Amino acid sequence: MAKKRSASSGAWLREHFDDHYVKQAKREGYRSRACYKLLEIQEKDRLLKPGMSVLDLGAAPGGWSQVAAEIVGEKGRVIATDILEMDTLADVEFLQGDFTEDSVFEELLRIIGDQPLDLVISDMAPNMSGMSAVDQPRSMYLVELALDMARRVLRPGGVFLSKAFHGEGYEEFYRDMKGSFESSVTRKPKASRPRSREVYVLGKGFKG
Does residue 165 surpass a pLDDT of 60? yes
What integer is the mean pLDDT of 179-201? 92
Q: Which is the catalytic residue, given 26, 75, 163, 204?
A: 163
Does residue 135 surpass a pLDDT of 60? yes
Q: On the CB side of 175, how many CA atoms lie within 13 Å of its CA?
A: 4
The answer to whether residue 44 is catalytic is no
Find all residues with CB under 8 Å of 114, minimum gap 6, and list them: none
pLDDT at 22: 73
Q: Amino acid identity, residue 24?
A: Q
- How far apart (Å, rounded) are the C-alpha atoms in residues 109 and 190? 34
Q: Binding site, residues?
A: 62, 64, 82, 98, 123
- How far apart (Å, rounded) are the C-alpha atoms in residues 45 and 59? 21
What integer is the mean pLDDT of 111-132? 88
Is 128 in a helix, a strand, or coil?
coil
Pairing of strands 53-57, 181-187: unpaired
pLDDT band at 16 (very low <50, low <70, confident <90, very high): very low
Does residue 70 surpass a pLDDT of 90? yes
Q: Binding site for S-adenosyl-L-methionine, residues?
A: 62, 64, 82, 98, 123
pLDDT at 28: 62
pLDDT at 29: 59
Q: Is the dihedral of CA 89, 90, 95, 98 positive or negative?
A: negative
